[in-house]
Amino acid sequence: MKPAAFAYVRPKDWPRALQLVAEGARAGAGTQSLGPLLNLRLAQPGTIVDLRHLPGFSGISQRGGGVRIGAGTTHAAIEDGAVPGRTGEIMAAVARRIAYRPVRNRGTIGGSLAHADPAGDWVAVLPALGATAIALGPGGERRIPAVRFVSGIFETALGADELLCAIEVPVLPAEARWGHWKFCRKPGEFSKATACVLSVPAHPPRAVLAALDAPPLVVEDASALLADPATEAPHIVAHIAELTELTDWRRALAETALRRAVAAAVGS
């Protein structure tokens, strides 16, 4: 199918883009999620604001203990090593398994997070890494911890007059241990259950369980899970089962994903 008619605007600066969004226009970045929604007419916005040409929309800069990633940085750039250090290594491996290369060449990290698909990869991984979303509104920038950014299914903490302009990720030490497991029946397909575990020396390990038709569940201190995954994984899955109905097979996938993420983190 073809999209319903809309107006297309390509602003040159952020204030104009913000103004259009405040007036109700829909942001477009890589359009790798929005495009299918438009073609299927599941989305019928009056106006699309193309963010791709805004200054600083993509690119990486290091600031103190964090790396600032422009919201428009593509999955492919991250796959190819745009983010430095141990954090970049982890993110490159995640990016490589998002969709397919031609989709990754246009799809952006900010678009993924703002889209807030419960099965989206960055939706699970950014909270696990301890990232911060940087929103830009009429009053300037606002920092939102990634663990609180996705507030529901396709819902975020962004205000109606805000855009996501960047994501800041911590510079992880070389010893940081990472485990990530997602269940896809085919490479590049959306996950049916995703688990991530990050363990950094001198900090409690963090775990995230996602892709279960609910916002990601963040376990800020996952020490018990790492000590005894067989006992603890079902407890974590039970928390998600309070929010959304899980079939037995989905529950089994979720528990297995957690156990495998722990095994990968302990072994890495």
Ligand X SMILES: Cc1cc2nc3c(=O)[nH]c(=O)nc-3n(C[C@H](O)[C@H](O)[C@H](O)COP(=O)(O)OP(=O)(O)OC[C@H]3O[C@@H](n4cnc5c(N)ncnc54)[C@H](O)[C@@H]3O)c2cc1C
Give me the residues that bind other proteins (CB under 8 A), please: 1-8, 10, 28, 31-32, 34-36, 38-40, 46, 48, 50, 52, 76, 99-103, 105-106, 186-188
Q: For the chain, how many helices (H) and strands (E)?
A: 11, 14
- Binds 249: which of ligand X, other proteins, none (CB < 5-8 Å by kind): none
Question: What does 197 bind: ligand X, other proteins, none (CB cut-off 5 to 8 Å by kind)?
Answer: none
Give backbone dihedrals phi and psi of 172, rounded to 5 degrees, phi first: -85, 145
Pick from 168, 169, 149, 158: nearest CA to 18: 158
Six-digit token pair at 99? 């969709």
The entry of ligand X, other proteins, none that residue 110 binds, CB within 5 to 8 Å by partner kind: ligand X
Smallest distance from the beta carbon of 161 to ligand X, in angstroms? 11
Task: Identify whether the C-beta of residue 86 lies closer than 8 Å to the C-beta of residue 172.
Answer: yes
Residue 52 interaction partner, one of ligand X, other proteins, none, beta carbon < 5-8 Å per kind: other proteins
Residue whose CB is less far from ligand X, 215 or 229: 215
User: Is residue 198 within the footprint of ligand X (CB under 6 A)?
Assistant: no
Choice between 26 and 142, CB closer to ligand X: 26
CB of 36 to other proteins, least distance (A): 4
Distance CA 97, CA 211 (A): 15
19 SS3 class = helix
Place of tokens 């989305």: 43
Longest Cα pair distance anywhere in the chain, in angstroms?
55
Q: Return d(Cα 218, Cα 233) in angstroms, integer.
A: 13
Helix axes 229-241, 248-267, angle to 10 degrees: 130
20-79 positions binding ligand X, by CB under 6 A:
26-34, 36, 51, 71
Of 34 and 67, nearer to ligand X (C-beta) is: 34
Residues that bind ligand X (CB under 6 A): 26-34, 36, 51, 71, 98-99, 103, 107-108, 110-112, 114-115, 120-121, 158, 163-164, 188, 190
